[in-house]
Structure 1
Amino acid sequence: MIVQFKDVKDLTSSPAKSEKIHVYKSGENKGKTRKLNAKPARTGILPVSEKTVWTWVREGKFPKPFKMNGRTVWRLSDVETWIAEQESKATILKEGA
């Protein structure tokens, strides 16, 4: 049996972001510009952001990750089980309404 692990970037989705130029409005860098690189869209297992996943972990609503070789990861099987539980809860609520 092969155990697969996923990090938060593999779990979450995010829209594409175009390249932008940021102009500092105050402070020692006032008037200077900085280029913010473009980011491609990312489609993960869940249709939510990284922030949402970390909020769910903190609230105990999502499986807790663990450290492996300095990276924070989840067992794919734990995430798939959690998704199945959410689907069954949604079905029960739908049928009960």
Structure 2
Amino acid sequence: MATKLLDLAAVLAVVPVHAATLRRWRAAGRFPAPIKIGRRVLWSAAAIERWIAEEE
């Protein structure tokens, strides 16, 4: 089964914060690390779902 990957726009649709906030959280280690494929920055949908569940 293939892992579903989300781009920044899809992540921001699920996590309603500004892109700059997401970058700060990522740099501080408060948000799942992205997967870089070429120049694209993507996140695992499962990792984002786990993060949301932990934050609630």
TM-score (norm 1): 0.54
2:35 aligned partner, one-letter code:
F
What are the ranges of 5 or more consecutive residues in structure 2 without an aligned counterpart? none
Looking at both structures, which has the greater relative contact order when contacts are Cα pairs under 8 Å and sequence separation is at least 6? 2
Count of residue correspondences: 56
Distance (whole Å) between structure 2 residues aligned to residue 2 and residue 85 of structure 1: 24
* Correspondence for 1:52 among 21, 46, 49: 21
C-alpha distance after superposition, 1:29-81 (max 9, x if no partner): xxxxxxxxxxxxxxx00110111111000010000112114200000000000
Partner residue, 1:9: 9
Identity of aligned residues (%): 34
- Tell me which stretches of 4 or more aligned residues in structure 1 moved more than 2 Å: none
Distance (whole Å) between structure 2 residues aligned to residue 84 and residue 51 of structure 1: 22
What are the ranges of 5 or more consecutive residues in structure 1 without an aligned counterpart? 13-43, 88-97
Which protein has the larger Cα radius of gyration, Structure 1 or Structure 2?
A: 1
Partner residue, 1:80: 49
TM-score (norm 2): 0.89
Q: CA RMSD in A?
A: 1.0
1:77 aligned partner, one-letter code:
A
